[in-house]
Structure formats: C-alpha cells, structure tokens
Amino acid sequence: MFARFLAPLAAVASSIIPLVACGPAPAPIPLPTTPASGIDVQAFAKQLSKTAQIFLPNDSQFTTYTVRWSNLDAPTVNVVVLPGNEQDVSKIVQFAYQKNIPILAYNGHHGALTTLGKMDYGIAINLAQLNSLKIAKDKKTVTVGGGINSHVLTEQLWAAGKQTVTGTCECVSYLGPALGGGHGWLQGHHGLISDQFVSLNIVLATGEVKTINQSSDLMWGLKGAGHNFGIVTSVTSKIYDIEHSNWAIETIVFGGDKVEQVYDAANKHLIQNGTQSADIHQWSYWLNDATLDADKPVIVVYTMQEGVDAVDSVYTQPFKDIGPLAVTPEAGTYRDLGAWTNIALDSPPCQDFGFNNPRFPIYIKNYNGTALRAAYDLYASAISGADNPYTNSIFMFEDYATGGVRAIDDRSSAFAFRSDRVLAAPLIIYDSTGAAEDASVAKLGNQLREIIHQGTQQSELHTYVNYAYGTETTQQWYGYDAWRQERLKALKTKYDPKGKFSFYAPIL
C-alpha cells in the first residue's frame, strides 16, 4: 500500500516549516525503508489550519510530543500532528483513512496498555492545542476541548466557584481517564467522570464529525469503552457549585507486619460493607521508604475527608491504635489533594523517567487479610532494598467513596464494575534490560494480582481498563455480561468497522 513513495521526507519537512514553525531545520533523513516513508506529510499539511503543527523525527520537539509515561510496549509513530481545531482532526483522520495509515490520539500520554505497542508506525494526533474551556450561561455545564488537562480544568472551574469529577492525578488529561469510566475525588457524590457527559463531538474513522448526546447509541459506549470509536474533540460535562472548599488528610504509615490489622480496620471503619460515606476516601501504597524501614516496604495510608479541617477520628483512631510508624495530619483545600497523595504535577508519578510502568489492576469489594499478607510477602521479596531494580514500585489500593457510582444504573454505560469498591494494582517500576526482564515482571505482576483475586473467592477478574496491563480479556476490561459484549461489538462494527481505533484496549 506504500509502494508509491510520494516525496523524500527531508524535502517534505523543509516544505512544512513555514506552516508549523517547528524548531531547527531537520538534518537530512536517510532514504525511506519503512511503511512510514509513504506518509505524504506535505499532502495533508496543506489542508490544515495555520495553527496546526507538524513534527517529524528530526525535529527537536518530536520527542516532547511523543514521550510516554511508560516505555513498555509503547506505540511507535513517525509523524506528530497537533491539530489547531476540530476540522484539522477531521482532515488528518480522513487522510489516514484513505491512505490506510495508523493513527492514535495522544493526550496526557499516560496510557500504558501493552496493546498500544501494536502501533508500529503512523501518525500521532496530539490534542494539546484543543484546550478550550467555556462554562455555560446557566453554569450547569462546561464545554472543553478534547485535549484539556485534568488539573487545568479543575483550576479554571475552581476560579469560577465550580467543580466536576476529574481524575485525581494532575498530569493526566481529562478525557483519557473519562473514556474508560474515570475515577476521582468527587465520584462519591456524582458518579464517575464519564457519568457527567452531556454531549461530545467525535471524529469517526472516516473523518466525519458527529455530535453525540444522550439519545445517541454511542453515548453508552463512550462511557467506559470510549477509546474505541474515534477522537473526541470536545465534551460538555455537568459541573457543580463548590459546597466544601476545605479538605483534610491524615497520612499514617505502618510497617509491613501490620498488613492484616490495617486492612481489617479499613474494612470495618471505611468500606463498611459498601456504606462508605461520600465525603471520605482512603488510599494506601506499599512502597520502599528507607527512612522508616530499611528492609521492607511500608504501608502508607492516606485518609482524606471533605468539608473538615481535621479528619474525623472515627476514621483515624482505629488506625492509630494499631501502632503506626508515623502520623501526619494536614488541612487545606480540594486543590491540595494531588500534592498530599503524591500525584501533583511535580510528584514522581507524574514524571517521564523513561521507565517501564506496568500495572496489574483488580477491583475488589473488601480486603482479604490472608490474601494481602501473601501478596505483601511476595511483593516485599521482589522489590525490597535500595539496590533492587524494582525499588521504586508501588502497590496501590484506591478506596474511593463509591455511593455516587453505584447510585447510577449499572446498565447505563459501558463501565461494567460499579458494584466494586476498591481498585488495587501493583505498579512495577523498572528500567528495562529487555524482553526477558519484561516477561519476568509480567509474571510477578500477574502472580500478585492472582493472589488478590483468589482472596475475592470469585471466578471473574474485574480490572480497570485505564490501569490494565494489556493482556487481559475483553470480559475483564468491559464486563462478563453477554449483553455488554454484544452491545460493544455492535457499536464497534457500526462506528469503526475497520478497527482504526483499536490500539487501546480493543473491543474486537
């Protein structure tokens, strides 16, 4: 299909400089030998708006716009386009469709499924310039560009006395998490990020732009399996008045000998058989912190509460009674949550260190102390010690308030796991030495997940598509109900029959 080579890339690159102003003139590019050389950049560059930008591998900013948070099975691209507007997205997608060139939306660049590695050449459509934001006159909704960052959205709404459910982490995009369901601090009140969607503009595989509203069949699919159908160029979502600006956190750290007691207390005092209050969240991380334990990972328990200046002692005293290594209370506002929980823009998890960062997620309803002990012992033996190649790993347990998620009809969206309560995931962070190490890390991650899974005493493995490793089944990403799978397949066949949007957790 790429037999017809259209123009040497070096010539193409210089010809687009006036349009894109993209850094120093590229050095000569060797004669093409891959399908990527058939991408006629000049042809589609002419069709784009003046604000569109195009970068080729020799451009200094190419890396800026293609860097990934995780290098494991990362996608490979040969051209980056930053569309200036929705029409640009449509034109690039249409061009790629006609020429049969792979495309992928690049947003916050934190997508890490191994399925992304199937993209071995093509065009990255980086949405960074689609970052508009407009609050409706009635102040009930906001319309944002498809590339807006979660933190930017939160800050701009905050300045207007408003908020909405976004991802908790400051460096991810708004839509990346949302299209897979989307967890955030306000979900206990309002449901998932995608539950806030009122309408979306999407560019389908052919380049056609469609507005999707509540009466469209595709709305259901975009709420949970939304990476599969097109590129969302804008979205209108519900927003809310800020009822409580103040929040508090208590960070309590334990040695690994306290696993059973800590999670028994979490079951009894936080999860409470699914009646956890909407204003309280608890995360815990198992990680190495030599200042507190030189030999084994510690358990860092973050308990966050809305509308208070100190976390209610009914949630913290049972943990203090266990005998922690350290206790740190802090008070502030909603805007401090990212820094408190180590996911602010300048926190380590938000940096691109060039490491492989696979996660092995599993949703659970309650903590099983026996399973957690077995998982902790295996994890500790694998990652302990400053010289250990996995020393920076984190085993995450995210217990968000879930009442608002469960209050929404389970059949209303493609997100399938509303009745689960805690998202657990070992995240093994390492600087890969190659395929053999990648395989052994995958074995470790799957073993850790399987231990937790055994503890649920359920045969089904529920995972979060946005944390997934990549080798899970579509049932494990999108639910085991036959009707869900049928409905997703029907939508995929209708809206993306040629599988142009199938690099991220594909339905088919």
Ligand X SMILES: Cc1cc2nc3c(=O)[nH]c(=O)nc-3n(C[C@H](O)[C@H](O)[C@H](O)COP(=O)(O)OP(=O)(O)OC[C@H]3O[C@@H](n4cnc5c(N)ncnc54)[C@H](O)[C@@H]3O)c2cc1C
Q: Which residue has the tokens 């250990």?
A: 388
Residues numbered 461 to 490 that lie near ligand X (CB under 6 A) are 466-467
402 lines the binding site for ligand X (CB under 6 A): no
361: alpha, beta or left, given left = phi > 0 and alpha = psi -120 to 50? Answer: beta
Q: Which residue has the tokens 């040497």?
A: 8
Shortest spacing between CB 313 and ligand X, in angstroms: 27
Specify burial of residue 409 (Cβ count, 10 A radius: 0-12, 13-18, 19+).
exposed
The gap from C-alpha 329 to its chain's centroid, in whole angstroms, comes to: 28
- Exactly one of 37, 163, 168, 194 binds ligand X (CB under 6 A); that residue is 168
- Exactly one of 38, 122, 182, 297 binds ligand X (CB under 6 A); that residue is 182
Shortest spacing between CB 9 and ligand X, in angstroms: 25
Site string for ligand X, 81-120 (x = CB under 6 A): -----------------------xxxxxxxx---------
Cβ proximity to ligand X: between 64 and 317 the closer is 64
Shortest spacing between CB 466 and ligand X, in angstroms: 3
Cβ proximity to ligand X: between 12 and 423 the closer is 423
173 lines the binding site for ligand X (CB under 6 A): yes
CB 15 within 8 A of CB 40: no
- Exactly one of 39, 80, 127, 311 binds ligand X (CB under 6 A); that residue is 127
Piece of the chain touching ligand X by CB under 6 A; list 22-30, 327-335, 343-351, 435-443: 343-351
231 lines the binding site for ligand X (CB under 6 A): yes
444 lines the binding site for ligand X (CB under 6 A): no
- Exactly one of 151, 162, 227, 269 binds ligand X (CB under 6 A); that residue is 227
504 lines the binding site for ligand X (CB under 6 A): yes
Tabulate helix, strand, coil % of the chain (nearest 5).
Answer: 35, 20, 45
79 lines the binding site for ligand X (CB under 6 A): no
Report residue 475: phi and psi, to 5°.
-65, -40
Which of 153, 224, 163, 228 has its CA nearest to residue 194? 224
Nearest-10 Cα torsion for 206, 211, 217, 218: 60
- Exactly one of 349, 404, 445, 479 binds ligand X (CB under 6 A); that residue is 349
Coil, strand or helix at 464? coil
Piece of the chain touching ligand X by CB under 6 A; list 224-232, 309-317, 381-389, 437-445: 224-232
Site string for ligand X, 350-369 (x = CB under 6 A): x-------------------
What residue is closest to ligand X based on CB? 176
Pairing mode of beta strands 293-306, 280-289: antiparallel
Shortest spacing between CB 469 and ligand X, in angstroms: 12
* E strand segments, 290-443: 293-306, 326-333, 362-364, 394-399, 422-427
DSSP one-letter code for 351: S
d(CA 115, CA 70): 13
d(CA 407, CA 411): 12
d(CA 189, CA 408): 11
Shortest spacing between CB 370 and ligand X, in angstroms: 29
100: alpha, beta or left, given left = phi > 0 and alpha = psi -120 to 50? Answer: left
Pairing mode of beta strands 197-203, 209-212: antiparallel
177 lines the binding site for ligand X (CB under 6 A): yes
- Exactly one of 92, 103, 165, 343 binds ligand X (CB under 6 A); that residue is 343
Cβ proximity to ligand X: between 102 and 108 the closer is 108
- Exactly one of 12, 48, 144, 169 binds ligand X (CB under 6 A); that residue is 169
Cβ proximity to ligand X: between 37 and 502 the closer is 502
Shortest spacing between CB 66 and ligand X, in angstroms: 11
505: alpha, beta or left, given left = phi > 0 and alpha = psi -120 to 50? Answer: left
d(CA 494, CA 492): 5
> Which residues contribute to the site for ligand X (CB under 6 A)?
69, 104-111, 127, 146, 167-169, 172-173, 175-177, 179-180, 182-184, 227, 231-232, 343, 349-350, 466-467, 504
